Amino acid sequence: MTRYEQPPFVAERDLERATRILGARCGLRFHPGNRELLDEGLRRAARAEHDTPARLLDRLESDQSEALLQALVRHVTIGETYFFRHPEHFDALREELLPELMRARGATRVLRAWSAGCASGEEAWSAAIVLASRAKADFTLTVLGTDINRNSLETARTGVYGAWSRRGPLPYATGHLLQEPDGTTRIARELRDLVRFEYLNLHDPIYPSLLTGTQGLDLIFCRNVLVYFEPEAARAVLARFHLCLIDGGYLVLSAFDAALAPDGFETIHLGKTTVLRKRRDPAQPAATPRVRLRTPVPEFCATGAARRLPSREGLAQLRQAKAAADEGDVARATALARQTLASERTPEGLHLLAMVLGERGERDEALRLLRETVADAPDYVLGRLSLGLAEEEEPGARAGHLRRVLELVGARRDMELVDGLDSLPVSWVRKMATAALRRIEGEK
C-alpha cells in the first residue's frame, strides 16, 4: 500500500483529478516526486474552503472561475524566492547584457524587462535595481512582474520584506533596499515607480500583448518556474517568450529549461552562466519558433463586427503604430498613434494611444482616452475591458464596464477571437472581466 492510499491522505484518484485540472489550466505537472506537495496542498485548500478534497475538485471541474482556481493554486505552487537569487545572472545582466542592450536601444532610450513567475517580487526588484544602477539616468525603464498566485502579488506590491528575502548577498542594492527599525526591508520610492505587478497565468495564450504589457521586451527572467510545468506547456511558454522579445533581447532561464527553447534563440555563454538571446541574424528565421503554438498570438485585428471599420489607410497606419508599440518603441508608437488619430479617429487608435501613454506613466491622459474610446464605440469589447481594468477608474464605473464586457462576449465560444487592438480569445476576456469584477465586489 502506498502512502497515498492511507487516510488521512488524499485518494489516488483525486490526486489524478487535481493533476489533470492543474495541467490543463496552469500547465503544471505533478509527477510522483512532487505528489506530496499536491497531497498537502489539496488538503490545505480544501480546509480553507471548508470542504473535502473530493468536493473541492468537483467544484473545480464544473466552475472554471479563476477565483476558485486561486483557492487551489496558492496551496500547490512553490513561491520560494529572495533578492539576487542566482547572483551570476544579475552579474551577467550588469556587466554584459545591459551594456549591449543600452547600445542597441540608444535611439529609443527605453528598456523593458519582465519577471515571469515572480512570486513575491524579489526577482523583479533585483532586476530593477541592476537596471536602475546603470541606466536610470538615460533610459526609461519598466519592469513587469507577473505570477499566478495573487497572494504573492499582494506581497510584491507592498514592497516590504522580511529577513528571509535578504538571505543572499545584496550587490548593487545600496539606496534601493531600505532597512527599517523593525528589521523589515522596504523598497525605495524611486524604484517603485519602475516596477508593476500583475496577475498572469503563463499557460493562458495572452502574450505577447499590449493589454498585458508583454510586448517589445528587452529582457525576460523566468527562473525556477518552468521546472514545474509539463514539457509541452513549457515549450509553448518559451515560444511565446520568443515573440515577446525584440530581436537581440535576452531570456534568462534556469539551467535545465533552456533545452526546451525554440531554435530562434542562440545560447550565449557568459562566465559562470548561460543565457538565451533572440537571434537577430536576418539569415536565421528568428520569428519562426520550432514549436507551433496551438493557440493564437494576440495581434491587431479589425473585422468591425460591432463598429465602423477604419479605412484601408487608417488600418495601415494603425498597424504601423501597433508594430512600434510591439517593438517597445513607446515614443514612436505614441507619435504614430497621434498621427493616425489626426487623420482618422477610430476606437482602435484611441485605445492604442491610451495603452502606450499608460505604459509611459501618463495615466490621467490614458484614462481620458479610454473613456473616449468607450463613448465612441460602446460595444468595442477590448476598449471597455481596458477601462474596466484601469485602477484609476471609480470602482462602480469599473464594475459597470466589466459587466457590459461579459454581456458583449455573451455565449461566444472560448477560442473565438475578440477583435481589436490585440485580438484575444473570448475565454481570456471573460476570465479577466470576471476576476476583476469579483475583486471589486469583494472590496465593497
Ligand X SMILES: C[S@@+](CC[C@H](N)C(=O)[O-])C[C@H]1O[C@@H](n2cnc3c(N)ncnc32)[C@H](O)[C@@H]1O
Residues interacting with ligand X, by CB under 6 A?
Answer: 26-28, 77-81, 85, 117-119, 123, 147-149, 152, 201-203, 223-225, 228
Least distance in angstroms from the C-beta of 86 to ligand X: 7
Amino acid of residue 405:
V
Residue whose CB is less far from ligand X, 78 or 178: 78
Least distance in angstroms from the C-beta of 272 to ligand X: 17
Least distance in angstroms from the C-beta of 74 to ligand X: 8
Least distance in angstroms from the C-beta of 386 to ligand X: 22
Least distance in angstroms from the C-beta of 39 to ligand X: 18
CA 105 to chain centre: 22
Amino acid of residue 198:
E
Residue whose CB is less far from ligand X, 241 or 300: 241
Residue whose CB is less far from ligand X, 28 or 97: 28
Asked if 388 and 401 count as a contact pair (C-beta separation under 8 A), the reply is yes
Asked if 294 and 310 count as a contact pair (C-beta separation under 8 A), the reply is no
For the beta carbon of residue 59, count every other beta carbon within 10 angstroms. 14
Residue whose CB is less far from ligand X, 13 or 20: 20
Residue whose CB is less far from ligand X, 14 or 123: 123
Residue whose CB is less far from ligand X, 177 or 354: 177
The gap between the terminal CA atoms of the chain, to the nearest Å, is: 50
Least distance in angstroms from the C-beta of 156 to ligand X: 10
Residue whose CB is less far from ligand X, 217 or 330: 217
Least distance in angstroms from the C-beta of 145 to ligand X: 9
Residue whose CB is less far from ligand X, 119 or 390: 119
Residue whose CB is less far from ligand X, 140 or 224: 224
CB neighbour list of residue 229: distance below 8 Å, 6 or more residues apart? 27, 28, 29, 202, 237
The C-alpha angle 419, 425, 428, rounded to 5 degrees, equals 125
Amino acid of residue 327:
E
Least distance in angstroms from the C-beta of 146 to ligand X: 6
Least distance in angstroms from the C-beta of 171 to ligand X: 16
Residue whose CB is less far from ligand X, 85 or 109: 85
Residue whose CB is less far from ligand X, 64 or 320: 64
Least distance in angstroms from the C-beta of 75 to ligand X: 11
Name the one residue in this structure whose C-alpha cell is 498585458: 212
**Residue 316, C-alpha cell as written in the block:** 495601415
Least distance in angstroms from the C-beta of 94 to ligand X: 18
